[in-house]
Structure 1
Amino acid sequence: MIRVFSGLLVVLATSAGAQEGPSFDCANAGSTAEELICADAGLAALDRRVAQRYAAALDKAGGAAGELRAYQRGWIKGRDECWKAEDERACVEGEYLRREAELVARWMLEEPTGTVFWACGGNPANEVVTMFFDTELPSVRFEQGDIVDTGVQVMAASGARYDSGGWYEGSFGRSIWMKGEGAVYSEHGPEGSTIYACVLTQRR
């Protein structure tokens, strides 16, 4: 009976350790970012959360799973560059929050909290759809024709602004700055930037 109880304690301790640690094996930590995550319970919890989001996205990705895996590897490389930051922990935390927001918005891992339709550039046919998600770092999904992109909320002097930051999977950068019934929508590509004035046409 004592042996069984002792064995159970070992199993419970191992299980608790796995729940508190990150999604990867800390014995194989290959960067200062991973070492930091292994030593920080808050970052380890964020790592587990993003790993779960990534797994859910893979389940929905279908034929795009290979591309998603490649971008995830690219994101990990970017996260590991946080050693260059003045505050490495803040950088790593920010990378995880942004990645979670992107995965949720791109792969619709949650129901949007609201959807807004915009007519941009004085042309009703130039429609931009924005879907908003209540991730820890508030996020948006942009839809414009066949284009899908994501962004996160950034500081703005007034109104609400969301910016893709130019990182997301194949994106050169999009942003929308909303004030009341109007918005400024921007696209940034290799040939320069295009800025549209938009008006709200529908809200769900």
Structure 2
Amino acid sequence: MKNLWILSLSGLGLSFSVIASSPSPSFNCNKAQGSIEELICQSEELSQLDTQLQPLYSQAIKQLNLNDAKILTAEQRGWIKGRNDCWKADDKTECTRVSYQTRITELQISAASINVPSPTYYQCNNESALQLSAYFYNDTLIPAVVFSYHTAHQPPSEPAIGFITRTASGAKYQAQHASLWTHQQEATLTFFGQPPITCTMSK
């Protein structure tokens, strides 16, 4: 972390230094509670992520009715609790970073600060009545997909959001209860404890 920038005027044989203050998080570091908030205050990267998150959260709240705003507020409190639980992690900084990155991505999507991509549709071969729709977000902080599925006899499922994870080929997105792997024209949807469902992009 560099807070000291050296500016040289070589032609004049002069040099001087400017002390640049580190970015501060959205909360008062003098009132930081717990080791994770203290860690955020000490980290330029984590402080920047915190200040990036707050306007997205405020924007999302303004777009909701009173009841939905209460739900988002409760979700945000739950997220803060989960972020602060990173004190249990072996790598506290990485845990906190990922927590911010996924939450910011969620808020970018819910606050509509990112253009909604065109949907991609899949027909699932071993579930002939099942159709999968996916919105691939590549302009969010981390790549993500919002997907849902339906059958001829069932309404669309609640949309799930998956965040990209490392994979040998293609792109794999991990949601709370399922994963979606895509490669070229194919996709594999896997629910925890269930056999994979293979799908092909609809023309």
TM-score bracket for the superposition, by shorter chain length: 0.7 to 0.9
Do 1:121 and 1:198's aligned partners in 2 also have CA atoms closer than 8 Å? yes
CA deviation digits over 1:137-196, x for unaligned, max 9?
1111113314111111000111111111x2xxxxxx1211011111101223xxx43531
CA deviation digits over 1:82-130, x for unaligned, max 9?
1111221111111100111122234533113453111225456522211
More helix by share: 1
CA deviation digits over 1:23-77, x for unaligned, max 9?
1121221121111111212211100111122112212232311111111111111
Which of 69, 80, 84 does residue 80 from structure 1 map onto? 84
Residue type matched to 1:49 in 2?
Answer: Q
State the aligned residue count: 176
Please identify the structure whose Cα radius of gyration is greater. 2
Percentage of matched positions with identical amino acids: 32
Do 1:57 and 1:109's aligned partners in 2 also have CA atoms closer than 8 Å? no
Matched, 1:57 2:68: no
Which of 149, 160, 172 does residue 171 from structure 2 map onto? 160
Do 1:132 and 1:140's aligned partners in 2 also have CA atoms closer than 8 Å? yes
Pair 1:80–1:64, CA change in 2 (3 A): same
Do 1:106 and 1:141's aligned partners in 2 also have CA atoms closer than 8 Å? no
TM-score normalised by the chain length of structure 2? 0.78
Pair 1:54–1:178, CA change in 2 (3 A): same
Q: Any unmatched runs of 5+ in structure 2? A: 1-19, 150-155
Moved more, 154-163 or 131-140: 131-140
Residue type matched to 1:30 in 2?
Answer: Q
Residue type matched to 1:180 in 2?
Answer: Q
Q: Any unmatched runs of 5+ in structure 1? A: 1-15, 167-172
1: CA distance between counterparts of 2:93 and 2:30? 20
Pair 1:68–1:57, CA change in 2 (3 A): same
Per the alignment, residue 198 of structure 1 pairs with 199
1: CA distance between counterparts of 2:31 and 2:117? 39
| Corresponding residue SS for 1:54 | helix
Do 1:161 and 1:176's aligned partners in 2 also have CA atoms closer than 8 Å? yes
Pair 1:88–1:151, CA change in 2 (3 A): same
Residue type matched to 2:97 in 1?
Answer: E
Residue type matched to 1:24 in 2?
Answer: F
| Corresponding residue SS for 2:58 | helix
Per the alignment, residue 139 of structure 1 pairs with 144
1: CA distance between counterparts of 2:50 and 2:24? 9
Per the alignment, residue 12 of structure 2 pairs with none
Residue type matched to 1:127 in 2?
Answer: Q
Pair 1:138–1:29, CA change in 2 (3 A): same
Per the alignment, residue 180 of structure 1 pairs with 184
Pair 1:89–1:156, CA change in 2 (3 A): same
Q: Kindly report the root-mean-square deviation, in angstroms, between the aligned alpha carbons of the 2 structures.
A: 2.2
Do 1:116 and 1:131's aligned partners in 2 also have CA atoms closer than 8 Å? yes
Do 2:127 and 2:197's aligned partners in 1 also have CA atoms closer than 8 Å? no
Which of 31, 35, 47 does residue 32 from structure 1 map onto? 35
Question: How much does 1:136 deviate?
Answer: 2.3
